[in-house]
Structures are given as C-alpha cells and as structure tokens.
A and B are shown apart, each in its own frame.
Chain A
Amino acid sequence: MSSFETRFYCTERAIWPRIQRNLSLLVWIAKVILAWFTQGRRLRKAGRHALREKRVLYLDDLIDSDKDD
C-alpha cells in the first residue's frame, strides 16, 4: 500500500508526469465517488434497516476488510 502523498504528489517539472498524475487521481476520485453510489447505497440501506428493526449491523459481514482500495 502507498499513501496519498506517495501516489499523487509530483515534484517533476515536466508536464507529462503531472498529466499522468492528474489522470490517475481523477480515476481514483471517480472510483471513490462511484463507491458512494454502489457499495455506499447498500450500506446505507442495511444501516437504515438495522435501525428500524433495532438489530445490530455487523460490519465484517458487509465489508471486506482485506480488500485494498
């Protein structure tokens, strides 16, 4: 795994590495936003149901902790 700084900070003067960085960051942000509409929708729905039915929502049943983003 690597941090946000390691992945997206760019000190090179040339334009191409910065364009590459911008593109990869855009893809990363698009995936993050997509996750809100897909996985997030499922989680929010499950959370609402758990609240309504007064039962506990187990996160390890719903979210794969071993999966890297």
Chain B
Amino acid sequence: MTNRFPAPDYHFSYRKAPVSGNTINGLGEMSQRRARQVFHGSGARKLEWSALETFFGLTMPLQIYIRNALNRWELRKADGPLARKRTPVPDSVKMSKQLKSIARHAGAGAVGITPMTEDALYEGQTADYQSAIVIALPQDYETMRAVTTVKAATETVDTYRDVSRIVMTLAAHIRSLGWRARAYGESADLLHIPLAINAGIGQLGKHGSVIGTEFGSNFRLASVLTDIPLAIDSAVDIVLMTCAWAVNVARSIVLQTPSVIGSNGFAATKNGTWTLIAV
C-alpha cells in the first residue's frame, strides 16, 4: 500500500474565504462560551464552511459515501421507548461495572463514565441527562498507517459505524431497564472530546484531539447520555504517567549503565545523576 499525500497547494479554494474556525470558536475571547460547529456538523446550524464540507463529501469514493449513509440509517435506533417498568439501581458502582462489561463485550476498546456537563454541548443544544458513558474504539493500526488511501478511509468510516453500534447496544440495554439513554455517534450535537477527557479515556493533545491511555490517538469516540445512576471515573494525566514511567526507566538506566542515553532517546546520565532530555 502506498501513501499518496495531497500536494501542499490545493486545487480548490474559496474566492472569498469564510470566517475562520478560530473566530467562530472565539480565539482571543476572554469569557467562556459553548462551542459552535465548524465542520462535520450535525445539521443544527448552517456552517460557514458548508461548501467545503459538501465538496469533501461528494468527492469521496462511493464505497465510503455509502457506508456513511448506512451509518445514518443504523443511527435511527440511537434512541427509543423505555421499558414500562424501571429496574432500581441500588449500587451505582455495580451498575457501572455491568455496563462497562457490556460495552467491552460489544467490542469497546476503552470505556469511561463522567457527569454530563454543558461544555460537551454545542451552542443552542440541550441534553438534560445526568451522565455520559464514553466509548473509544481503536482503528486497525496497520491499515491506518496507509492513511490517504481509500482502505484507510474505509477503516475510519467502519470504525465510526462499529462504535455507533456499541453505543446503540448500550443505550438499548439501559432503556430496557427503564432509564433514559440516548446514543450519539459522529457528526452529533455532542462534543465527545471533553466528555472523553473527563471520563479518563485520555488527555487533550496539542493536535486538538484526545491522546488516549491505551490507543494513542488511533481511535474513534461515541457516547451514551443517560440518567441511570452510575459511578464516575476520574480524568487522567498522561504526562504525569509518562513522566513517572520515564523516571523509572531513567533510574534503571543509571543503575545499570552510567552515562548512557536511553534507547527511547529521552534519558541521559550526567556525572552519575540522571536527566530527562525529552518526554
């Protein structure tokens, strides 16, 4: 498989460029406000960059386009009627474990639970749910190494479909217990990233996406919003984890062979002490 990267000069452009995403989402503003959809919108607002989104959508290969359409058809089951009788939940920890087990059994790579907060909603949206169950599903690493190929794009869309199926299964199970639950997949009214960070799936990277504890950034997210009582997970600090790991490695290097640079290139010894040179 050969990667064919696009030329740095695009063959498409705007005569009059729309307002930038940074401006749309308040770069430099001093007061906090909710996010506005910029790209891959749910349809809730007219996007400034809709022509570009249309162009990308309609010039993608048919097999990917059809998969997206099928995903939309499947997402009709993301919400539904509740069971008439509500099952009481005396132990939220046990229920959390049970739901995580169902999610993992359905294929989830990582599962986290967090309170539903307003910053996970786009401007103008409402979702009065207590908590969010966030699912991360990894993409096939080898396939994604060939990104820019149709095969890699297909893997991305298939992962979106698969993670949507997992959250729909989970939401349907919760509704069968008599509790409200709504699944959200891609291009939703919901921002999965703040929820994923709060749920301990990973940490916000400089690239604007989540760096996960298990899969790096090679995964797709989906969420279930629900009212069922659940135990909440904590956010994680990967930098802290990485530093602790690096310190341990550096110490072991010092103990074994003084004045050596670690095989990962981040640790060195100097006069019998160790120094982190990069993390």
A32 to B66 alpha-carbon distance, docked (Å)? 9
- Kindly state whether residue B81 has any CB partner on chain A within 8 Å: yes
Interface residues on B, range: 35 or more
Contact B76 A5 (CB under 8 A): no
Contact A36 B58 (CB under 8 A): yes
Q: Name the A residues within 8 Å of B14 (CB-CB).
A: 58-60
A3-22 vs B, Cβ < 8 Å mask (1 yes, 0 no): 11111111111000000011
A12 to B80 alpha-carbon distance, docked (Å)? 7
Contact A2 B15 (CB under 8 A): no
Known contacts A35-B58, A40-B59; decide if A1 and B78 are in contact (CB<8 Å): no
A47 to B42 alpha-carbon distance, docked (Å)? 26
Min C-beta distance of A51 to chain B, whole Å: 5
User: Which residue of chain B has the shortest Cβ distance to A32 in the bound complex?
Assistant: B69
Q: Name the B residues within 8 Å of A69 (CB-CB).
A: 43
Contact B11 A56 (CB under 8 A): yes
Q: Name the B residues within 8 Å of A68 (CB-CB).
A: 46
Q: How many A-B residue pairs have CB under 8 A?
A: 117
Known contacts A5-B184, A58-B13, A61-B15; decide if A43 and B55 are in contact (CB<8 Å): yes
A22 to B15 alpha-carbon distance, docked (Å)? 40
Interface residues of B in 9-29 (CB under 8 A from A): 10-16, 18
A55 to B5 alpha-carbon distance, docked (Å)? 19
A39-63 vs B, Cβ < 8 Å mask (1 yes, 0 no): 1100110010011001111111111
Residues of A within 8 A of B (CB): 1-13, 21-22, 25-26, 28-29, 32-33, 35-36, 39-40, 43-44, 47, 50-51, 54-63, 65-66, 68-69
16 A-B pairs whose Cβ atoms sit less than 8 Å apart in the complex: A5-B182, A7-B43, A11-B81, A11-B82, A32-B69, A43-B54, A44-B58, A51-B11, A56-B13, A57-B12, A58-B12, A59-B51, A60-B14, A60-B15, A61-B15, A63-B50
Knowing that A25-B72, A36-B65, A63-B50 touch, tell me 6 more A-B residue pairs with CB under 8 angstroms: A11-B80, A21-B76, A26-B73, A32-B72, A59-B52, A60-B51
